């Protein structure tokens, strides 16, 4: 596997046409996929995280092959990514995720629900007056942590609530040309400390991602040794 940092070339930042293609998550998704577009029939074999660094777009990716830019727009730095992991290892992490919960309706069909909105809807169903609700930031923290803790059981790591921050809750709706339909995505940014409980499961999570919406910049957990 490879870990890459993909930064915009300084001269490309002056191109107004370039900035027009960064209008929403789907356009960012298409831009990043173009760096792995060696075969139109190829399935996605990478994860990515998008952020602004000094007001310039920067991507981090984990992939089976290195990204390639044919247009001299990006500065791409890649290196082999084979993390050494062991039980009880402590790591700091960051993760942008699409935390959802799957429920079945009366007909048995599965539906995905944003866990934050699901928590708010449950408060309404319970008849709790809005004035008695927690602030949204507290709901995001509490519900987001619960979701991440469950994922930890599945993916070989453990988290403690006082060592994890869940914030940056964002909802986005955009039109997906392929399939001609709208997509709704909600994201939460997680940062903090974790403990590895199963190195093999956790390595697979680092390579394959956590949660849905991986095609749209979710699921890549980046880790490093704690600073303290």
What integer pLDDT is reported at residue 200 of this predicted model?
97
- Domains belonging to the chain, first-starting first, are 2-80 (3.30.70.1200), 90-224 (3.30.70.1210)
What integer pLDDT is reported at residue 141 of this predicted model?
97
What integer pLDDT is reported at residue 44 of this predicted model?
84
What integer pLDDT is reported at residue 70 of this predicted model?
74
| DSSP string computed for 39-70 | -TTPPP-EEEEEEEETTEEEEEEEESS----S
pLDDT means per 10 residues in the chain (228 residues)?
Answer: 90 64 71 78 85 80 91 88 97 97 72 88 91 94 97 98 96 72 89 98 98 93 89
Q: How far apart are CA 81 and CA 206, in angstroms?
A: 10
């Amino acid at each position: 596997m490879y870990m890459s940092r993909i930064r915009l070339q300084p001269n490309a930042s002056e191109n107004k046409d370039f900035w027009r293609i960064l209008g929403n998550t789907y356009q960012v998704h298409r831009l990043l996929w173009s760096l792995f577009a060696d075969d139109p029939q190829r399935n996605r074999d990478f994860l990515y995280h998008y952020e602004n660094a000094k007001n310039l777009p920067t991507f981090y990716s984990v992939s089976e092959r290195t990204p390639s830019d044919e247009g001299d727009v990006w500065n791409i730095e890649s290196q082999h990514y084979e993390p050494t992991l062991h039980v009880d290892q402590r790591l700091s992490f960051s993760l942008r995720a699409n935390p959802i919960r799957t429920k079945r309706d009366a007909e048995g069909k599965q539906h995905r629900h944003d866990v934050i909105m699901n928590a708010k809807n449950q408060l309404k169903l319970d008849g709790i007056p809005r004035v008695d609700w927690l602030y949204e930031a507290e709901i995001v923290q509490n519900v987001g942590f619960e979701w991440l803790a469950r994922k930890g059981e599945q993916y070989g790591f453990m988290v403690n609530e006082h060592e994890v921050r869940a914030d940056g809750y964002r909802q986005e709706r955009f039109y997906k040309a392929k399939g001609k339909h709208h997509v709704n995505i909600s994201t939460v940014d997680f940062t903090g400390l974790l403990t590895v409980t199963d190195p093999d499961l956790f390595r697979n999570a680092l390579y394959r991602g956590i949660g849905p919406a991986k095609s749209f910049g979710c699921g890549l957990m980046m880790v490093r040794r704690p600073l303290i």
